[in-house]
Amino acid sequence: MALITIPVESLLDRKQPPSEAQAQEWCASLEAGDILFFPQTPIEFAAGDIEFLLGQQQTDSSLHKNIAYKPAIDALSGVDTKTANAASVARLQGIMRFYSHAAVEFLGGFLTPYARRWKLDYASFRPQEEQGRDLALRKRNDLLHTDAFPTRPTHGARILRFFNNIHPTRTRDWVVGEPFPTLVKQFAPKQIPLPSPGNAASRTAKSLARGIGLGAAIPSLKRSPYDDFMMRFHNFLKENDAFQTDCEKHPFQFPSGSSWMVYTDTVPHAVLAGQYALEQTFLVSPQAMVAPQFSPLRVLEAMAGSRLA
């Protein structure tokens, strides 16, 4: 795995989309587990927007939490609208709307092989200091893990995330490990059972038996065997002390004002320190992959010998 640095001047000067060969190469690198790094973010924020985001911590306690923006319905969550100042909430929503739109515009022109063959997931604003956060083990960001969403199964779509460190001075400190195709073979099937269509069917049956008509059963009904495994693998990695201690680790410190993008379902990652980040998630169609042999779905299907999504 590698960090591939892309100077913003090379993007802005060009006015034209990157060549097809170049864009294919970037996509293939991402899919294999590299990080594309932009020392200077390609997102052009309006004057005052970053200052507004940085100011929330001091001025409005109801905006402290991780805040999600759902572009499909133009809605914020994680903000206590009962106590937050209405004008602040409206401005925050406007900034998140802009950020999400700008990230989509940028990636659409940059990763042309994907040509918007993605489902746009949430954007987030992360105003909290990551170092020393008091979170339940499975929610901790400082333990290496690959991403899986408990309530939003992807059915094999890849989780591509675009990040911005908007802290005025500090780095955002990550550690990353060996990508999924290497990692999963260390543990499956010996320490963690491989997925099989049968596994998921029995889980679905259990959910049905537990409560037909209950909302709580719906997410597991929608989960494919692939999603089920990815969720278990996320938990397995965070709960595995030996892995956390002994695994190969590559530290990266993303500077103030930089952006980076990475497939977080493939690259195990942990955030050790940093404050104030923005992020937009894309669920990229499996059919859009330029190097499908690296996708967790393909790797797992080859190991399990059956279709999993």
What are the helix (H) ranges across 122-251? Answer: 180-187, 197-210, 218-222, 225-239, 241-246
**What is the nearest approach in angstroms of Fe ion to the Cβ of residue 202?**
28
Kindly tell me which of 82 and 139 has the beta carbon lying closer to Fe ion.
139
CB 108 within 8 A of CB 115: yes
**Of the listed pieces 40-48, 139-147, 203-211, 249-257, which binds Fe ion according to CB under 5 A?**
139-147
Q: What are phi and psi of 68, to 5 degrees?
A: -105, 145
Stretch that binds Fe ion, among 33-41, 144-152, 171-179, 226-234 (CB under 5 A): 144-152
**Could you say which DSSP state residue 170 is in?**
-
| Least separation in angstroms between CB 66 and Fe ion | 12
Q: How far is the CB of 161 from Fe ion (least distance, A)?
A: 8
Closest CA to 164 of 39, 56, 48, 80: 39
Q: Toward Fe ion, which CB reaches closer, 147 or 173?
A: 147
Binding mask 210-239 for Fe ion (x = CB under 5 A): ------------------------------
Query: Minimum CB separation from Fe ion for residue 121, in Å?
Result: 13
Nearer to Fe ion, 200 or 278 (CB): 278
Residue with tokens 């797992």: 300
Nearer to Fe ion, 270 or 304 (CB): 270
Query: What residues between 150 and 189 interact with Fe ion by CB under 5 A?
Result: none
- Smallest gap, in angstroms, from Cβ of residue 143 to Fe ion? 10
Shortest Cβ 198–Fe ion spacing (Å): 29
Q: If binding means CB under 5 A, how many residues of this protein chain bind Fe ion?
A: 1
With respect to Fe ion, which residue has the nearer C-beta, 279 or 301? 279
Copy the structure tokens of residue 230: 């990815």
Cis peptide before 189 (omega within 30 of 0): yes
173 within 8 A of 253, measured Cβ to Cβ: yes
Q: Which of 130, 142, 147, 301 binds Fe ion (CB under 5 A)?
A: 147
**What residues contact 96, with CB distance under 8 A and at least 6 apart?**
67, 69, 76, 123, 125
From 195, 196, 197, 220, select the one nearest 207 (Cα to Cα): 220
Which is nearer to Fe ion, 200 or 230 (by Cβ)?
A: 230
Tell me the closest approach of the beta carbon of residue 270 to Fe ion, in angstroms.
8
Binding range to Fe ion, per CB under 5 A, among 46-54, 61-69, 117-125, 145-153: 145-153
> Would you call 241 helix, strand, or coil by DSSP?
helix
Stretch in the footprint of Fe ion (CB under 5 A) among 38-46, 143-151, 188-196, 217-225: 143-151
The smaller minimum CB distance to Fe ion, of residues 100 and 124, is found at: 124
User: 78: phi > 0 → left, psi -120 to 50 → alpha, else beta; which?
Assistant: left
Choose among 99, 147, 92: nearest CA to 120.
99
End-to-end Cα spacing for the chain = 27
Nearest residue to Fe ion, scored by beta-carbon proximity: 147
Run of H or E residues at 264 = none
Minimum gap (Å) between residue 250 Cβ and Fe ion = 16
Helix (H, G, I), strand (E, B) or coil at 259: strand
- Summarize as ranges the residues that interact with Fe ion (CB under 5 A): 147
